[in-house]
Every structure is written in C-alpha cells, then in structure tokens.
Structure 1
Amino acid sequence: MKLRDRYPQLQNPALVKTMVVRSVYASMALENQTVSLERLEALYEQTKATPLTPAAATVR
C-alpha cells in the first residue's frame, strides 16, 4: 500500500507544502538556524521546478 492510498490528504499539494515548510522551519529553529517562512516557501517552489532524476531519487 502506498502512502497516497493510505492518506488521501497527501493528494492536496497545498497541504503537503505546508507540512514540509513547517517541519523544516521547526527543525531549523531547534538548531538556532532561523529562516523566514517566506524563504522556505520560495525554496520549496524551486524544488518543484527541478524534477528529480531516478539516480538522485535513490540517494535520498
């Protein structure tokens, strides 16, 4: 079973963006490396424009 099948809310791109941006913001804040939410949202948008190659996907 895939995550998208189990959790249909993951089909919503706005929800996924919010989850990713907030979790990155929180984890960086824990390490005293605060970054504005606007900057994180801009970085998130950049990653959508750059598709992963299969080799890059396996490294993650």
Structure 2
Amino acid sequence: MIKWAIIFAIAAVVLGVLGFGGLAGASMGIAKVLFVAALIVAVIFLVLGVTAAKKIM
C-alpha cells in the first residue's frame, strides 16, 4: 500500500510540473488516503502483535 502511495505522490509531482493541476490534485489525494490507510493497518498489526506476544509469554 505504501508502494502505491509513493507512486501516486510521484505522479502528482510530475503532473504538477507539467501543468496538469486537476490530475495532480487527484493523485495527491489518492496518495494521502493510501498512506493513512497503510498507517492504520500498521498500527493495528502492531497492537495485535504486542497482545499476542503477551499471551504467549
């Protein structure tokens, strides 16, 4: 998911430089959503990993 966020962010920068403002804004919006979603998933897995480790020990 982070990979796609980076791809969309790079696409937004390139589109912004070339003058495609609408497409650049849309690409950056998608990149932000994907990045936040990846952070939420990472935090959930971190919490699940910590709780599982406490139950094992």
Structure-1-length-normalised TM-score: 0.38
Q: Quick check: which one's helix share is greater?
A: 2
Higher relative contact order (CA 8 A, sep 6+): 2
